[in-house]
Structure formats: structure tokens, C-alpha cells
């Protein structure tokens, strides 16, 4: 039987263009902030999991586990890099959870980090494309925005949805990010601005895409025994954690819009958590593109297929709505430093459950879910957390 696992520390850097900070500096800054928040000594960390996708291509640097452990002043800990494309952060958290739940470790850290803005746009595009099948997809010239554009076009035609409704997801996220000190874009945008922004891959427009950015987020997880020895005032428990994979390439799936892996991951996390969809008080979805945010609402069960955008338009994703979602800006406005995104999502849920989400706080939030995608939903990480006190 798995042991109980708690999150007792959280820390992050602001997402943006950090020209004056290296990859390791961002990671260490977030990690030490999480250690301070947990009120423990960094020497009590027994293992470190670093979520990252592109350090090898963009910085020419691998071996991140030992690198971050060294510069954080905790050499000797078990440490490794976890890579699962854009789901690297969520999967790293899953590995950290398993390490504590198994009883092997009492206290572990997970750090998600990515540094993208120092690289040429063409190099970033090429690095992102490594998440797809190089022999059968990438060689054709397909990009991730192009692949998501195919899903978007199919969705609009299959369900007869107006693009303006889907694009409203970006408007929602920017509104939520205004009060988030970690957010890359703390400004509201109008639907008119979104719909008049340049086409990137028809029908996706520029302001429907998550930005390129640098950032790091970190969390400290511990066992029940560790918590008894180190009492903490703000306790959040991990009650469900799952990872699933889909057929990698969209064109090889029986139905490109049928996110089978997503359903498996959500259902597994729900069974583990012993909660239902209606029990979720706050939700984080992977809106690298607006269409993914809307599809996530539907696959999770918060809306029938083809009707997810209705929740956006009717304001049901805001605090006080049916399912408050991406309440601190999501990937679109908080930012999307790829390997760090999954950890930022969970950190945002932790802030909500602690009652520290500022103006975006969801009243009496008790249970939260974070969903993190890798590739075009080729890997899905779903983590469910509950406020203990």
C-alpha cells in the first residue's frame, strides 16, 4: 500500500526573458525558495528530480540532476533529469511522488526548469520538434503549431464551433494572470486583439499560442513520518498521480480528437484519489494552444464534446464559476518554460489550496487537479491534490 505524500514547500522564479541568469541559476533559485518555504534544511532532501526537455539542444548541457544538486549545495543526493517533452515537469513530479509513496525516501525535491530565450527561434522550433517522430513526421516540415492547427481545424468543422469561442480561452488566461507575480504577461487582452493577431498556422493566431520563456519552479514532497518530525502549518496532500501515453503521432490515431491517453490518466488519478469530477474545485490545463485548453475541459468531463468553449464564454472558468481553471494565467499568460510548466501548474494548485492565490483565489478550494501534456498529448501527467490544513 502506498504511503501518504505531502507537499510542504513551493518556490518559483518569475517567467520571462532572463538574460542575466543561466539554466542552473534559475533551477537553484526556485529550489532554495521551496526549501525555505518548507522550513527545512536543504540537507534533509534525499532525492532530486529535474524536469527539463531541451537543455541538451539549447544549452549543450545534460546531467542536470548532478548539476543542480551541486550548485544547490546538496551533492550526494540521488538525482536525475526527467524528460517527457512538454510533460517533463508533470512526469518529474510523478516520479518524486512515487519515490516517497514507496517508502524509499522521506523527503524529495522536484524542480522544473527551461531556458529558451537565449536560443535562436529556429533552434527552439527544432528542439521542440524532437517530441515528435523524426522519421515519419518531422522530416516533412511539420511543426507543433502546425499539428495543433490540424486538430483545431478538425474540431471547428466537426462540432460547428465558432473560433471566437475557442480563442476566448486566451482572453480568460490573460485576465487571470494580471495579479500573478510569476506571470510572463500580466496584462489583459481583448477578443478583438486575439482574433486580429497574425495567423501562425491556420486557424491558430499568435495570441492563441503560449509564449517562449525562461523559468523554474520547485516543490518539496515528504512522507507522513517526516511531517510528524517537521510540523508544517500549510499541508497539501497528493491524493492521485498518474501518467499515460498515447499513440505518439496524431495522424496514426484512429480519431485525432479522441485523447485516449488523457482519459486513461484522468481516470487513473480519479480512482486513486477517490474523487469525482464534480469534487474538483480548481483545475490547471495545458493550454499551449487555446484548442488544447478547450479539449481538456471536455475530455476531463466538465463539458460535453464540442461544448468546452461555452464554459469559457460564460465565465465558468473564473473563481466562483463552475470549474475555476488556469486561475493564475495558464501556459498562455503565466508562461510556458516547457520542462518547468508541469511543476508551475502544480505550484498554482498548491497556492489555491493554501488560500494564497491573491485576487484569483477560489473560495474554500479543497481539491485541485493539474494536467500536463507532452507533444500533441502523446504523454499525459495528471496530479490531484487536497488541502489538509
Structural domain count of the chain? 1
DSSP symbols for 2-59? PPPEEEEEEEEPPPB--TT--HHHHHHHHHHHHHHHHTS-GGG--EEEEE-SSHHHHT
Interval 41-64: pLDDT, tens: 999 999 999 999 999 999 999 999
Interval 97-131: pLDDT, tens: 999 999 999 999 999 999 999 999 999 999 999 99
- Residue from 18, 80, 86, 94 carrying the catalytic annotation: 86
Interval 180-229: pLDDT, tens: 999 999 999 999 999 999 999 999 999 999 999 999 999 999 999 999 99
- Residue from 94, 232, 286, 336 carrying the catalytic annotation: 336
155-164 as b/e: b if 16+ CB within 10 A? bbeeeebebe
Strand partners, 220: 9, 109
pLDDT band at 288 (very low <50, low <70, confident <90, very high): very high
Interval 308-326: pLDDT, tens: 999 999 999 999 999 999 9
pLDDT band at 1 (very low <50, low <70, confident <90, very high): low
Q: What is the DSSP secondary structure assignment for residue 222, as one 8-state letter?
A: E
Identify the domain containing residue 75 by its residue range: 1-389
DSSP symbols for 112-134? EEE--TTS-HHHHHHHHGGGS-T
User: Is residue 24 over pLDDT 70?
Assistant: yes
Q: What pLDDT, on a 0 to 100 scale, did the predictor assign at position 375?
A: 93
Question: In 3-state terms, what secondary structure has residue 339?
Answer: helix
Read off the C-alpha cell for 35.
526549501
CATH (domain of 339): 3.40.47.10
Strands (E), the chain: 5-12, 47-51, 78-82, 107-114, 199-201, 204-205, 215-223, 236-245, 282-284, 367-374, 379-387
Residue owning grid cell 475557442 = 166
Read off the C-alpha cell for 148.
495543433
What's the pTM? 0.97
Asked if 242 and 381 count as a contact pair (C-beta separation under 8 A), the reply is yes
Q: What pLDDT, on a 0 to 100 scale, did the predictor assign at position 263?
A: 87
Taking the C-alpha atoms of residue 59 and residue 37, their distance in angstroms, rounded to an integer, is 29
Taking the C-alpha atoms of residue 275 and residue 252, their distance in angstroms, rounded to an integer, is 33
Active-site residue, 336 included: yes
Interval 236-278: pLDDT, tens: 999 999 999 999 898 888 888 877 778 899 999 999 999 999 9
**CA torsion angle for 255, 257, 258, 263 (degrees, to 10)?**
160
Q: What is the mean pLDDT of residues 280-293?
A: 98
Amino acid at each position: 500500500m502506498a504511503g501518504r505524500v505531502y507537499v510542504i514547500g513551493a518556490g518559483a522564479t518569475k517567467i520571462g526573458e532572463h538574460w542575466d541568469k543561466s539554466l542552473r541559476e534559475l533551477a537553484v533559485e526556485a529550489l532554495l525558495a521551496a526549501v525555505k518555504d518548507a522550513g527545512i534544511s536543504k540537507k534533509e532532501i534525499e532525492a532530486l528530480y529535474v524536469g527539463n526537455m531541451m537543455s541538451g539542444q539549447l544549452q549543450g548541457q545534460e546531467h542536470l540532476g548532478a548539476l543542480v544538486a551541486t550548485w544547490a549545495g546538496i551533492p550526494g543526493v540521488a538525482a536525475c533529469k526527467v524528460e517527457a517533452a512538454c510533460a517533463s515537469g508533470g512526469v518529474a513530479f510523478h516520479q518524486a511522488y512515487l519515490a516517497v509513496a514507496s517508502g524509499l525516501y522521506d523527503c524529495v525535491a522536484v524542480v522544473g526548469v527551461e531556458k529558451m530565450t537565449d536560443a535562436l527561434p529556429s533552434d527552439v522550433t527544432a528542439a521542440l520538434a524532437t517530441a515528435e517522430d523524426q522519421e515519419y513526421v518531422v522530416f516533412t516540415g511539420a511543426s507543433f503549431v502546425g499539428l495543433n492547427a490540424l486538430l483545431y481545424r478538425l474540431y471547428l468543422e466537426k462540432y460547428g464551433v465558432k473560433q471566437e469561442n475557442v480563442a476566448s480561452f486566451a482572453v480568460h488566461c490573460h485576465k487571470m494572470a494580471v495579479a500573478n507575480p510569476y506571470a510572463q504577461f500580466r496584462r489583459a487582452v481583448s477578443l478583438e486583439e486575439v482574433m486580429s493577431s497574425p495567423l501562425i498556422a491556420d486557424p491558430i493566431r499568435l495570441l492563441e499560442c503560449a509564449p517562449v520563456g525562461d523559468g523554474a519552479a520547485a516543490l518539496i514532497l515528504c512522507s507522513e513520518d517526516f511531517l510528524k518530525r517537521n510540523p508544517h502549518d500549510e499541508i497539501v496532500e497528493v491524493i492521485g498521480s498518474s501518467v499515460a501515453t498515447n499513440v505518439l503521432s496524431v495522424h496514426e490515431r484512429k480519431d485525432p480528437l479522441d485523447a485516449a491517453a488523457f482519459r486513461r490518466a484522468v481516470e487513473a488519478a480519479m480512482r486513486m484519489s477517490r474523487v469525482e469530477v464534480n469534487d474538483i474545485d480548481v483545475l490547471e490545463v495545458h493550454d499551449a494552444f487555446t484548442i488544447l485548453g478547450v479539449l481538456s475541459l471536455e475530455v476531463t468531463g466538465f463539458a460535453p464534446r464540442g461544448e468546452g468553449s461555452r464554459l469559457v464564454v460564460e465565465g465558468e472558468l473564473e473563481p466562483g464559476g463552475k470549474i475555476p481553471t488556469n486561475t493564475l494565467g495558464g501556459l498562455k499568460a503565466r508562461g510556458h518554460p516547457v520542462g518547468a510548466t508541469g511543476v508551475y501548474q502544480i505550484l498554482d494548485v498548491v497556492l489555491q489550496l493554501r488560500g494564497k492565490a491573491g485576487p484569483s483565489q477560489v473560495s474554500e478550494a479543497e481539491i485541485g487537479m493539474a494536467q500536463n501534456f507532452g507533444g500533441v498529448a502523446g504523454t499525459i501527467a495528471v496530479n490531484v491534490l487536497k488541502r489538509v490544513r
